[in-house]
Amino acid sequence: MIPYVRQNQIYSYIKMKQIAYIEELLELTNVSLPTVRRDLKKLEEEGKIILLNGGGVRPNEEAEHSVVARLEVNSEEKYLICSKAAKSLENNEFIYLGPGTTENYLIGFLAGKHCTVVTNGIFHLPKLLEYKIKTIVIGGALDHSYGITHGPEVYGNIDTMNFSTCIIGASAITKGGVSSFDHDVSVINQLVLNRSKKRILIADSTKFAAFSHHEFAKVEDFDCIITTEKAGIKTTEMKNLVIAQPSDL
Protein backbone atom coordinates (compact mmCIF):
# COMPACT_ATOMS: atom_id res chain seq x y z
CA MET A 1 0.00 0.00 0.00
CA ILE A 2 1.40 3.36 -0.99
CA PRO A 3 1.99 5.83 1.90
CA TYR A 4 -0.69 8.27 0.70
CA VAL A 5 -3.42 5.62 0.81
CA ARG A 6 -2.14 4.10 4.07
CA GLN A 7 -2.08 7.48 5.81
CA ASN A 8 -5.67 8.10 4.82
CA GLN A 9 -6.63 4.66 6.11
CA ILE A 10 -4.96 5.48 9.44
CA TYR A 11 -6.64 8.89 9.59
CA SER A 12 -10.06 7.40 8.87
CA TYR A 13 -9.56 4.84 11.65
CA ILE A 14 -8.51 7.52 14.15
CA LYS A 15 -11.58 9.60 13.29
CA MET A 16 -13.82 6.58 13.82
CA LYS A 17 -12.25 5.65 17.17
CA GLN A 18 -11.68 9.24 18.37
CA ILE A 19 -8.70 7.94 20.36
CA ALA A 20 -6.53 5.22 18.83
CA TYR A 21 -3.27 3.64 19.94
CA ILE A 22 -0.17 2.76 17.98
CA GLU A 23 -0.66 -0.97 18.66
CA GLU A 24 -4.04 -0.79 16.91
CA LEU A 25 -2.56 1.03 13.96
CA LEU A 26 0.18 -1.57 13.61
CA GLU A 27 -2.47 -4.28 13.42
CA LEU A 28 -4.58 -2.23 11.01
CA THR A 29 -1.80 -1.50 8.53
CA ASN A 30 0.45 -4.54 8.96
CA VAL A 31 3.59 -2.41 8.58
CA SER A 32 6.55 -1.72 10.85
CA LEU A 33 6.52 0.57 13.88
CA PRO A 34 8.87 3.13 12.24
CA THR A 35 6.54 3.28 9.22
CA VAL A 36 3.50 3.95 11.41
CA ARG A 37 5.42 6.61 13.31
CA ARG A 38 6.38 8.32 10.03
CA ASP A 39 2.74 8.24 8.91
CA LEU A 40 1.58 9.75 12.19
CA LYS A 41 4.25 12.44 11.97
CA LYS A 42 3.04 13.32 8.48
CA LEU A 43 -0.60 13.53 9.66
CA GLU A 44 0.48 15.67 12.61
CA GLU A 45 2.36 18.06 10.31
CA GLU A 46 -0.79 18.37 8.18
CA GLY A 47 -2.73 19.35 11.31
CA LYS A 48 -5.07 16.37 11.11
CA ILE A 49 -4.15 14.63 14.37
CA ILE A 50 -2.80 15.31 17.84
CA LEU A 51 -0.32 12.88 19.44
CA LEU A 52 -1.05 12.13 23.08
CA ASN A 53 1.19 10.95 25.89
CA GLY A 54 1.15 7.17 26.27
CA GLY A 55 0.95 6.37 22.56
CA GLY A 56 -2.56 7.64 21.96
CA VAL A 57 -3.69 9.63 18.93
CA ARG A 58 -6.83 11.71 18.45
CA PRO A 59 -8.25 13.82 15.60
CA ASN A 60 -7.59 17.53 15.61
CA GLU A 61 -11.19 18.66 16.07
CA GLU A 62 -10.47 22.25 15.09
CA ALA A 63 -9.09 21.13 11.74
CA GLU A 64 -11.91 18.62 11.26
CA HIS A 65 -14.61 21.25 11.68
CA SER A 66 -12.99 23.92 9.55
CA VAL A 67 -14.68 24.09 6.15
CA VAL A 68 -11.84 26.26 4.85
CA ALA A 69 -9.26 23.67 5.89
CA ARG A 70 -11.22 20.84 4.26
CA LEU A 71 -11.57 22.85 1.06
CA GLU A 72 -7.79 22.93 0.66
CA VAL A 73 -7.35 19.16 1.08
CA ASN A 74 -6.66 17.44 -2.26
CA SER A 75 -7.62 20.60 -4.13
CA GLU A 76 -6.01 19.52 -7.42
CA GLU A 77 -7.97 16.26 -7.42
CA LYS A 78 -11.23 18.02 -6.61
CA TYR A 79 -10.72 20.53 -9.41
CA LEU A 80 -9.98 17.76 -11.92
CA ILE A 81 -12.99 15.69 -10.80
CA CYS A 82 -15.37 18.65 -11.09
CA SER A 83 -14.03 19.53 -14.52
CA LYS A 84 -15.01 16.03 -15.64
CA ALA A 85 -18.41 16.21 -13.93
CA ALA A 86 -19.26 19.53 -15.58
CA LYS A 87 -18.83 18.00 -19.03
CA SER A 88 -21.83 15.73 -18.39
CA LEU A 89 -24.15 18.67 -17.69
CA GLU A 90 -26.40 20.29 -20.26
CA ASN A 91 -27.66 23.86 -20.47
CA ASN A 92 -30.72 24.80 -18.41
CA GLU A 93 -30.48 21.92 -15.95
CA PHE A 94 -32.13 21.90 -12.52
CA ILE A 95 -29.26 20.64 -10.35
CA TYR A 96 -29.01 19.61 -6.72
CA LEU A 97 -25.48 20.38 -5.52
CA GLY A 98 -24.36 18.70 -2.32
CA PRO A 99 -22.85 20.85 0.46
CA GLY A 100 -19.38 19.31 0.51
CA THR A 101 -16.04 20.89 -0.30
CA THR A 102 -15.56 18.78 -3.43
CA GLU A 103 -18.86 20.07 -4.82
CA ASN A 104 -17.66 23.63 -4.22
CA TYR A 105 -15.10 23.21 -6.99
CA LEU A 106 -17.87 22.52 -9.52
CA ILE A 107 -19.42 25.98 -9.26
CA GLY A 108 -16.84 27.73 -11.45
CA PHE A 109 -17.56 25.24 -14.23
CA LEU A 110 -21.29 26.07 -14.20
CA ALA A 111 -20.82 29.61 -15.51
CA GLY A 112 -22.55 30.02 -18.86
CA LYS A 113 -24.70 26.88 -18.57
CA HIS A 114 -27.81 28.88 -17.53
CA CYS A 115 -28.66 26.24 -14.95
CA THR A 116 -30.42 26.45 -11.60
CA VAL A 117 -28.57 25.14 -8.56
CA VAL A 118 -30.45 23.94 -5.48
CA THR A 119 -28.31 23.50 -2.39
CA ASN A 120 -28.25 23.41 1.40
CA GLY A 121 -24.53 24.23 1.36
CA ILE A 122 -24.22 27.73 2.84
CA PHE A 123 -20.47 27.73 2.19
CA HIS A 124 -21.25 27.64 -1.57
CA LEU A 125 -23.09 30.96 -1.58
CA PRO A 126 -20.16 33.39 -2.12
CA LYS A 127 -19.01 31.43 -5.16
CA LEU A 128 -22.54 31.09 -6.56
CA LEU A 129 -22.88 34.86 -6.24
CA GLU A 130 -19.48 35.44 -7.85
CA TYR A 131 -20.39 33.37 -10.91
CA LYS A 132 -23.98 34.68 -11.00
CA ILE A 133 -25.48 31.19 -10.89
CA LYS A 134 -29.25 31.07 -10.45
CA THR A 135 -29.64 29.50 -7.01
CA ILE A 136 -32.30 28.16 -4.67
CA VAL A 137 -31.08 27.88 -1.07
CA ILE A 138 -32.97 25.30 0.98
CA GLY A 139 -33.76 26.85 4.34
CA GLY A 140 -33.60 25.02 7.65
CA ALA A 141 -31.60 24.80 10.86
CA LEU A 142 -28.00 25.93 10.37
CA ASP A 143 -25.07 23.73 11.35
CA HIS A 144 -22.28 26.26 11.87
CA SER A 145 -19.49 23.66 11.90
CA TYR A 146 -20.23 22.24 8.48
CA GLY A 147 -22.02 25.18 6.86
CA ILE A 148 -25.20 23.30 5.98
CA THR A 149 -28.92 23.63 6.60
CA HIS A 150 -30.75 20.53 7.79
CA GLY A 151 -33.90 19.33 9.49
CA PRO A 152 -37.60 18.83 8.54
CA GLU A 153 -37.80 22.04 6.48
CA VAL A 154 -34.97 20.83 4.23
CA TYR A 155 -36.51 17.37 3.88
CA GLY A 156 -39.91 18.83 2.99
CA ASN A 157 -38.55 21.21 0.36
CA ILE A 158 -36.50 18.52 -1.37
CA ASP A 159 -39.54 16.25 -1.50
CA THR A 160 -41.32 18.78 -3.74
CA MET A 161 -38.52 19.07 -6.33
CA ASN A 162 -37.51 17.01 -9.37
CA PHE A 163 -33.83 17.36 -10.24
CA SER A 164 -32.47 16.71 -13.72
CA THR A 165 -29.10 15.92 -12.09
CA CYS A 166 -27.77 15.61 -8.58
CA ILE A 167 -24.06 15.96 -7.87
CA ILE A 168 -23.07 14.92 -4.39
CA GLY A 169 -20.01 13.83 -2.44
CA ALA A 170 -19.44 11.23 0.25
CA SER A 171 -17.24 10.61 3.26
CA ALA A 172 -16.49 6.98 2.36
CA ILE A 173 -16.99 4.64 -0.59
CA THR A 174 -16.62 0.87 -0.49
CA LYS A 175 -17.95 -1.98 -2.61
CA GLY A 176 -20.62 -2.35 0.07
CA GLY A 177 -21.94 1.18 -0.03
CA VAL A 178 -21.59 4.96 0.02
CA SER A 179 -21.58 6.72 3.40
CA SER A 180 -21.59 10.11 5.11
CA PHE A 181 -20.17 11.30 8.43
CA ASP A 182 -23.54 12.80 9.43
CA HIS A 183 -27.02 11.30 9.80
CA ASP A 184 -28.82 14.42 8.52
CA VAL A 185 -26.63 14.60 5.43
CA SER A 186 -27.37 10.93 4.74
CA VAL A 187 -31.13 11.48 4.98
CA ILE A 188 -30.90 14.48 2.64
CA ASN A 189 -28.81 12.51 0.14
CA GLN A 190 -31.34 9.66 0.14
CA LEU A 191 -34.18 12.09 -0.58
CA VAL A 192 -32.21 13.80 -3.34
CA LEU A 193 -31.33 10.52 -5.04
CA ASN A 194 -35.00 9.58 -5.10
CA ARG A 195 -35.88 12.88 -6.81
CA SER A 196 -33.07 12.90 -9.42
CA LYS A 197 -33.07 11.71 -13.03
CA LYS A 198 -29.28 11.52 -13.27
CA ARG A 199 -27.09 10.78 -10.24
CA ILE A 200 -23.40 11.69 -10.08
CA LEU A 201 -21.09 10.95 -7.17
CA ILE A 202 -17.83 12.90 -7.00
CA ALA A 203 -15.07 11.78 -4.65
CA ASP A 204 -11.33 12.30 -4.32
CA SER A 205 -9.09 9.29 -3.78
CA THR A 206 -9.08 9.52 0.04
CA LYS A 207 -12.76 8.54 0.20
CA PHE A 208 -11.98 5.02 -1.08
CA ALA A 209 -9.73 4.31 1.93
CA ALA A 210 -12.09 5.90 4.46
CA PHE A 211 -14.72 4.73 6.92
CA SER A 212 -17.96 6.53 7.75
CA HIS A 213 -20.99 5.58 9.81
CA HIS A 214 -24.12 6.52 7.85
CA GLU A 215 -24.68 4.64 4.59
CA PHE A 216 -27.08 6.40 2.23
CA ALA A 217 -26.70 4.54 -1.08
CA LYS A 218 -25.21 1.58 -2.90
CA VAL A 219 -22.44 2.06 -5.45
CA GLU A 220 -24.77 0.94 -8.23
CA ASP A 221 -27.33 3.65 -7.37
CA PHE A 222 -25.21 6.20 -9.27
CA ASP A 223 -25.01 6.69 -13.01
CA CYS A 224 -21.33 7.48 -12.53
CA ILE A 225 -18.77 7.82 -9.76
CA ILE A 226 -16.02 10.26 -10.72
CA THR A 227 -12.58 10.10 -9.11
CA THR A 228 -8.91 10.08 -10.18
CA GLU A 229 -6.24 7.44 -10.73
CA LYS A 230 -4.96 8.07 -7.19
CA ALA A 231 -7.92 6.08 -5.84
CA GLY A 232 -6.33 2.90 -7.17
CA ILE A 233 -9.75 1.59 -8.22
CA LYS A 234 -10.25 -0.05 -11.63
CA THR A 235 -13.35 0.27 -13.77
CA THR A 236 -13.59 -3.51 -13.70
CA GLU A 237 -14.17 -3.25 -9.93
CA MET A 238 -16.86 -0.56 -10.24
CA LYS A 239 -18.65 -0.59 -13.59
CA ASN A 240 -19.93 2.99 -13.18
CA LEU A 241 -16.52 4.39 -12.24
CA VAL A 242 -15.18 7.30 -14.32
CA ILE A 243 -11.53 8.35 -14.02
CA ALA A 244 -10.91 12.08 -14.45
CA GLN A 245 -7.70 12.78 -16.37
CA PRO A 246 -5.62 15.97 -16.72
CA SER A 247 -6.71 16.02 -20.37
CA ASP A 248 -10.26 16.69 -19.16
CA LEU A 249 -9.28 20.20 -18.09
pLDDT digits (tens, 9 = 90+) for 105-161: 999 999 989 999 999 999 899 999 999 999 999 999 988 767 899 999 999 999 999
More confident residue, 199 or 58: 199
pLDDT digits (tens, 9 = 90+) for 35-59: 999 999 989 887 788 888 878 898 8
Q: CA 87 to CA 94: how far, in whole Å?
A: 15
pLDDT at position 11, please? Answer: 85
pLDDT digits (tens, 9 = 90+) for 73-95: 678 899 999 999 999 999 999 99
**CATH architecture group of domain 3-65:** Orthogonal Bundle (1.10)
Domain parsing of the chain, residue ranges: 3-65, 69-248
Mean pLDDT, all residues of the chain:
89
**N-to-C CA span, the chain:** 29
Mean pLDDT of 209-214: 80
Give the CATH fold of the 69-248 domain.
Rossmann fold (3.40.50)
Most confident of 1-5, 40-44, 170-174, 216-220: 216-220
